[in-house]
Amino acid sequence: MDEQAKKTALRMIPYGLFVLTAQTEDGRSGAAAVNWVTQASFKPPQVAVCVQSDSWIHEVVQEAKAFALNILGKEHAEVAFAFFKSVKVEGNLMAGQPFRPGVTGAPILTELPAFVECRLVDSMAAGDHTVFLAEVVEAGASLPENGRPDSHTLWLRDLGESIFYGG
């Protein structure tokens, strides 16, 4: 296989950007920017999220059995970059972003345009990542209802020509 062609082809798959958050019953929390996300079912509503197996957020999601996907808007590039590295929680701020606990206990970032909160249904090892399949148990959106909802989503390509994940 031509490695450069493979990398180029896989990088042509478009990705939105999300902040995955979770919190265990004993209060340990985690957060990370993720982009391998898709809706997996209408009834019940489910999403699939791929998370790097050796990451802190992976451990927290596995233990909490729940998470929130906080959807970044076009104007939140700097928020995305803040969640590309280890995150500190200070009071009701996570990486400087205000949050509240959701129905599962997962942190909901209150200044982002939308979120889905999920309970873990299943997981599957997939190379160096794990695919988490989860049922949506709560959702919220604060966007005006004009236009396509996905036109407000921050895409990986919006971060610049040199920012890639995958390939």
Average pLDDT over residues 33-49: 95
Tens of pLDDT, residues 63-108: 999 999 999 999 999 999 999 988 888 899 999 999 999 999 999 9
Reported in sequence order, the residue ranges of the chain that DSSP labels E, i.e. its strands, are 18-23, 29-34, 37-41, 46-52, 66-71, 89-90, 93-94, 97-101, 107-109, 114-126, 129-141
Contact 129, 36 (CB under 8 A): yes
**What is the secondary structure of 122-167 as a DSSP string?**
EEEEETTEEEEEEEEEEEEE-S-SSS-GGGGBPBGGGG-TT-----
Say whether pTM exceeds 0.75.
Answer: yes
Contact 33, 80 (CB under 8 A): yes
What pLDDT does 146 receive? 77
Which H or E run includes 64? helix 56-64
Q: Partners of 164 in the beta sheet?
A: none
State the burial class of residue 110 (Cβ atoms within 10 Å of its Cβ: 0-12, 13-18, 19+): middle
Residue-wise over 139-152: b if at least 16 C-beta within 10 A, else e? Answer: ebeeeeeeeeeeeb
Neighbours of 58 (CB within 10 A): 20
Confidence of residue 166 (pLDDT cuts 50, 70, 90): low
Ramachandran sector of residue 65 (left: φ over 0; alpha: ψ -120 to 50; beta: rest) = left
Check pLDDT > 70 for residue 165.
no
Q: How far apart are CA 110 and CA 64, in angstroms?
A: 20
Tens of pLDDT, residues 108-149: 999 999 999 999 999 999 999 999 999 999 999 987 677 788
In angstroms, the Cα distances linking 26 to 23, 74, 105 are 8, 34, 11
Check pLDDT > 90 for residue 152.
no
Average pLDDT over residues 28-32: 94
The CATH topology of domain 17-159 is Pnp Oxidase; Chain A (2.30.110)
